[in-house]
Amino acid sequence: MIKINCYVIGMIGTNCYLIEDEATGALAVIDPGDHCDELLREIDARGKGLSYLLLTHGHYDHILGAAELCERYHPTVCASEKELTLIAEPSYNLSKKHGLTIAPFTVDRPLKDGDSIMLGESEIRFLLTPGHTMGSGCYLVDDSLFSGDTLFCTSVGRTDFPTSSTRDMMRSVERLKNLDGNYDVYPGHDLFTTLDRERRYNPYMN
């Protein structure tokens, strides 16, 4: 089982998640959109370092704080194998558009659809869900779905960016809709929700 802390950070309020495996205390961060003192203090207070840095996709508002965490804690950085070019290219990750410079970092473990990561005793499964970007993905662990900018509360991510595809987004949302059971959904922005709620109220799942 995992514990989840959320920090709303960066220019446009990205949800950055600190997840902890309860059995071992192992930690992972999902989508560090910028520097966050509170996040750093919490990691330091646990005294376990940081095992993984998990990226749902490569837009600047989800990776701007990655290099700092890498330098400080040396986690294993994971992202879709299809997202590596976008992460490295300023015109694709939208940092150039906003006049930002992203400090370089390395994706240590490029992920394929269905790959699993062990955070202590908790298994985290990667689902490739293209649409918002070509390599966008979600992370499933226990009864939690970290959906990045694929699935929001009653909405979905934009598909007007480099490597975006509306057709792919609709297929990805259909895939999430058809997952067995219910999940607590932790999106990349705005409100938490549940998969059952989205099945009922999200117009893109009808």
Residue 150 corresponds to which tokens in the numbers above?
């694929």
Averaged pLDDT for residues 7-27: 97
Domain 2-205 is found in CATH 1.10.3720.10: no
Q: Give pLDDT, residue 43.
A: 98
Domain boundaries, the chain: 2-205
Residue count of the chain, please give it.
Answer: 206
User: For the residues 125-152, what does the mean pLDDT come to?
Assistant: 98
Q: Between β-strands 14-21 and 27-30, what pairing exists: parallel, antiparallel or unpaired?
A: antiparallel
98-to-20, 58, 95, 156, 200 alpha-carbon distances in Å = 33, 15, 5, 23, 36
On the 0-12 / 13-18 / 19+ scale of CB atoms within 10 A, 177 is middle
pLDDT per position as a tens digit, 25-39: 999 999 999 999 999
pLDDT by residue (tens digit) across 42-78? Answer: 999 999 999 999 999 999 999 999 999 999 999 999 9
